Amino acid sequence: MTFGQSASLFNDTRQAYAVSVIARVVQIVGQEPDARVLDIGCGTGIATRQLAERGMQVIGADSDTDMIRQARLVADGQPPEFLLMRADSLAFDDGSFDAITAFGAFHWFADPASIAELRRVLRPGGHLVVVNKRDAGSFADDIVRIVARHVPLAVASPKTGYDPAALMEAHQFIDVSSHAVVSTESLSAPQAVAHARSLRLWEDVPPALYRTIENDLSDYVSARLGAAGRLVRDLTTVVVSGRKPADIG
């Protein structure tokens, strides 16, 4: 099963961003009623919809057909709009957007060609905002460890050496800043196991091993359930922002 083919599972298991995270993004971007925002690497549109609910004129874009199909299915013909598009070839005019956001996805297109394209479609003075959830505990690392017992992983940690702030500065964004928001997620046992299956690393798991690894994951989760029968995941969500200089077209 590819990452894109798990789109429905991804949408069902990935939780919305904390209200305080979205509030921070809105504070950076501003909330002018006619402001246009591109949410790049939108996946199934979880954060895109949260921004739209705050009154932003937002478009979600992703390069994965299955993810966009699921985003459109959930939207059911209502805003926001979701487009199939690669970050390195955006079909928009120069300066089309007042802000660009990337929630949990920037590491997949943090290459020079894609960043240059993001700069191109961002208006002078506009903001690029990159948001990443990080485990304050060991949940994500433990999933990798459990799966790696059974199969070699090609992409176990795609964020190794990844530094959004340094990338922004290297590509001439100014006023680069980073802000951490502490929050928690509460997962049922089935949700916690399904979360593992929604990760890109699951592409490396052959179907014959699905049940074996899911059983190992279930044992891990069961041992960590709280009194309410749920696994509490401590998170630090980092919001990094930078601004395109106003004197650069």
Local confidence pLDDT in tens for the 249 residues of the chain: 444 445 666 666 678 899 999 999 999 998 777 789 999 999 999 999 999 999 899 999 999 999 999 999 998 888 899 999 999 999 999 999 999 999 999 999 999 999 999 999 999 999 999 999 988 888 988 998 999 999 887 755 555 667 999 999 999 999 999 999 999 999 899 989 988 888 888 888 999 999 999 999 999 999 999 989 999 999 999 999 999 999 754
What does the pLDDT read at residue 64?
A: 92
What does the pLDDT read at residue 3?
A: 46
Kindly state whether residue 63 falls inside one of the protein's structural domains. yes
pTM of the model: 0.88
Kindly state whether residue 67 falls inside one of the protein's structural domains. yes
Kindly state whether residue 112 falls inside one of the protein's structural domains. yes
**Domain of residue 164, residue span:** 4-243
Task: Give 135: exposed, middle or buried? Use CB within 10 Å, 0-12, 13-18, 19+.
Answer: middle
What gap in Å lies between CA 237 and CA 50, rounded to an integer?
16
CB 90 within 8 A of CB 113: no
Kindly state whether residue 248 falls inside one of the protein's structural domains. no
Kindly state whether residue 249 falls inside one of the protein's structural domains. no
Kindly state whether residue 124 falls inside one of the protein's structural domains. yes
How many domains does one find in the chain?
1
| Vertex 46: Cα angle to 29 and 160 (nearest 5) | 80
Q: Which long-range contacts (CB under 8 A, 24 or more apart) does 135-143 make?
A: 135/233, 135/234, 135/235, 135/236, 136/182, 136/234, 136/235, 136/236, 137/233, 137/234, 139/231, 139/233, 142/220, 143/195, 143/196, 143/199, 143/201, 143/217
Beta strands in 151-200 (DSSP E): 174-188
Give the CATH number, domain containing residue 146: 3.40.50.150
What does the pLDDT read at residue 237?
A: 95
